[in-house]
């Protein structure tokens, strides 16, 4: 159930939208450990679970615990995406309010639009540093 609340947080879903997304998306079912035939909890189940965690003062503690984990060890969560950092040269950056991890390809093209030079850098290398 806590994993479902993580999906809800990452994808900014209401309780009803969360239930529908779990029923619809294989990736959500897989993340939650559900088979295709397993029943999907309804929106009131999520609401009650969240309220119970809040009553026990556990909800914020669990999210803080998750935030404190080593990103390289457990996988990195950002903006509704789960990444498994397996490439030690890939880097995080911020672009238009999003947090992509990976690389950039810098292309130098002539006047006709034909690429003359390509270079790949970690995502955190600023575009203006490439000439």
- In this structure, the chain runs to a length of 131
Strand, helix or coil at 75? coil
CA dist 54 and 25 (Å) reads 28
Q: What is the mean pLDDT of residues 43-62?
A: 86
**Residue 118: closest CA among 105, 102, 130:** 105
Q: What is the pLDDT of residue 72?
A: 46
Q: What is the pLDDT of residue 70?
A: 47
Q: How far is CA 49 from CA 56, 65, 97, 126, in A?
A: 11, 18, 31, 43
pLDDT at 73 over 50: no
Partners of residue 121 on adjacent β-strands: 104
Give the tens place of pLDDT for each residue, 39-51: 999 999 999 998 8
CA dist 116 and 107 (Å) reads 8
Q: Calculate the average pLDDT of the chain.
A: 78
Q: Which tokens sit at 15?
A: 């309780």
CA atoms within 13 A on the CB side of 48: 5
pLDDT at 57 over 90: no
Q: What is the mean pLDDT of residues 111-127?
A: 82
Give the tens place of pLDDT for each residue, 13-41: 999 999 999 999 998 998 899 999 999 99
pTM: 0.51
Domain boundaries, the chain: 2-68, 91-129
Q: What is the mean pLDDT of residues 52-59?
A: 84
Q: Which residue has the higher pLDDT, 84 or 129?
A: 129
Q: Which residue has the higher pLDDT, 83 or 107?
A: 107
């Amino acid at each position: 159930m806590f994993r479902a609340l993580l999906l809800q947080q990452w994808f900014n879903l209401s309780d009803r939208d969360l239930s529908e997304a779990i029923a619809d998306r294989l990736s959500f079912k897989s993340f939650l450990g559900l088979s295709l035939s397993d029943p999907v909890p309804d929106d009131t189940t999520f609401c009650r679970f969240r309220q119970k965690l809040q009553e026990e003062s556990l909800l914020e503690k669990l999210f803080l615990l998750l935030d404190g984990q080593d990103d390289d060890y457990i996988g990195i969560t950002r903006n509704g995406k789960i990444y498994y950092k397996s490439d030690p040269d890939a880097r995080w950056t911020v672009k238009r309010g999003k947090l992509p991890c990976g690389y950039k390809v810098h292309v130098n093209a002539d006047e006709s639009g034909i690429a003359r030079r390509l270079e790949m850098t970690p995502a955190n290398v600023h575009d203006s540093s490439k000439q």
